[in-house]
Amino acid sequence: MSGADFLAADWGTSNLRAWRLGADGAVKDSRRFPWGVGVLQPGEAAQKLKDEIRPALGAENLPAILCGMVGSAMGIAVAGYADCPAGGEELARNLFRVDEQTWITPGLRCVRPDGYPDVIRGEETKVLGWLTLDPRRAAGDHVLCLPGTHGKWVLVRDGRIHHFMTCMTGELFAVLSEHSTLCPGAVPSEPASFAEGLAFGAAEGPLASRLFTVRARMVGEGLAGDKAASFLSGLLIGDEASRLPPLLGLKPGATVGLMGEPSLLGLYEPALRARGLVVEQADGEAAVIAALTLLRSVGVPA
């Protein structure tokens, strides 16, 4: 066991993945744990880190660097926000020190292209890792799509996060499919209906009006619940994929980096390709490891 080893964790609202890493980012051990900060009581995250995460990885006395919603009011401590444009230097300089052994990465805040504010916490670390994994990405403009509950579209300019936009597609789907009159409780499982929804998602007109067609088709045409849920999923993702890229200056033929859970990538890739975009999938786990290794080397005392 090397004295240069450290504990790294990507601790979000719903999921937690932790690694014991060498100074070069080599994975010595890894664990998944069944609790994100969203299911924990106040103060419980810090106790979990001490009593369960560190012992599971033999990291009781190692420095730890954590990213994600663990740095919010739901987690161990509020790690604050750094201002965009920001890159590795700004993130390292704003690391929040919890105690002698534990640091949390900050989130970022920006002004969106439409003049309104936005914030990001967790995805900025993945973007930093994406940049770190290929030095060629440090030049020019790049756009990444990170789908999720609150999906992020991030513009990187010359190696720094310039600005980003959040799209609440995941949360909207959960609320509408579970707590509204639209296909209550149904699970999407029908690819043809999803594809139909993708096409309708790009249509003109208010989204609030197009959403009601899900209900109308169920009660007026007898559309089955699973097909209705699939259509709703496609409609929401299609709306996002058709309207967000132009706001970040993307035109057909441009390349988008796509990073996230495999189940979401399989939904977003056809949506983006249908808009004429070139999609390059990226490994989110490798990106987090690369970013936390970099931040540990420049921002955490040995």
According to DSSP H, which parts of the chain are helical?
44-48, 54-56, 88-93, 123-133, 169-179, 191-201, 207-221, 225-247, 262-274, 284-299
* Residue 12 three-state SS: coil
Q: Which two tokens stand for residue 289?
A: 């490891």
Phi-psi region of 124 (alpha: psi -120 to 50; beta: other; left: phi over 0): alpha
* Residue 70 three-state SS: helix
Rounded to two decimals, what is the model's pTM? 0.93
179-195 residue pLDDT tens: 999 988 888 889 999 99
* Angstrom distance (rounded) from CA 156 to CA 113: 13
Q: Which two tokens stand for residue 13?
A: 């609202």
Domains of the chain: 112-285 (3.30.420.310)
* pLDDT at residue 1, as a whole number: 35
194-250 residue pLDDT tens: 999 999 999 999 999 999 999 999 999 999 999 999 999 999 999 999 999 999 999
* pLDDT at residue 2, as a whole number: 44
151-188 residue pLDDT tens: 999 999 999 999 999 999 999 999 999 999 998 888 88
Can you tell me the mean pLDDT for 24-41?
95
Q: Which two tokens stand for residue 151?
A: 């999906």
Other beta carbons within 10 Å of 205: 8
AA letter at 143:
V
Other beta carbons within 10 Å of 33: 15
